[in-house]
Amino acid sequence: MGGHLSFRTTAIAVIAYALAMAYVESAVVVYLQLALGAEVGAIFPLRPAGETGSLIAIEAGRELTTLVMIGAVGLLVGRSWLERLAWSAIVFGVWDIGYYGWLYVISGWPPSLRTPDILFLVPVPWVGPIWSPIAVSAVLVGVGLAAASTLCAGRRLAIAPWHVAAGLGGGLLVILSYTLDTGRLIEGGMPGPYPWPIFAVGILAALAAAADSLRGAQPGAQR
């Protein structure tokens, strides 16, 4: 694994990469917003598509290439498809938490974890309070590290069909909680109350499936 590095060394290197990547992205966001004459974090109401022009396409491209960077690390570090997914989840989670952490250090934004933010633009704007992506990322890091450690130790995760269904279903509920306000935002409105019960059901369903799969791990490498 990773040039015969130990799990601990690999985890430290992967986390350091994700934190460095988060700093670069937070710095770019600050530079761009100041260059456009806007205050950092002054997002809502959304600027009309005609006014922003190609910036929307550029931002969407940045988001997609960030996912490529995250997936590339998982691909290079992991030995099996599941281990690669685990390392990718770790990078994503650390990067996302680090992004908001660095942004606060650099600019003082966000003022609160309840502050709404645009989380993603593909295929529509995703919006939610900052505590929600941080909660998702904390779960990804915790589950990812537990899964990677288990797999690196030569054990097999117990993955049943209901684990997959709960994980995917829970993820879709989380995405739904972020996109219910899309129409209003595109029309220039402000975010409404966040539907946190939908988010809570989704994250708990996915977490329960992951925890049960880890609990039932058995000897034997997983391909």
**What pTM did the predictor assign?**
0.90
* Residue closest to 128 by CA, chosen among 33, 204, 56, 195: 195
> Per-residue pLDDT for the chain (223 aa), expressed as one digit of tens each?
445 788 999 999 999 999 999 999 999 888 877 776 767 766 766 766 555 555 777 778 888 999 999 999 999 999 999 999 999 999 999 999 999 999 999 999 999 999 999 898 888 889 999 999 999 999 999 999 999 999 999 999 999 999 999 999 999 999 999 999 888 888 888 888 999 999 999 999 999 999 999 999 888 666 6
Let me know if 59 is exposed, middle or buried by CB neighbors in 10 A (0-12, 13-18, 19+). Answer: middle
What's residue 125's pLDDT? Answer: 87
d(CA 158, CA 142): 18
Sorted by where each begins, the domain ranges of the chain are 7-219
Under a CB-based contact definition with an 8 Å cutoff, are residues 141 and 94 in contact?
Answer: yes
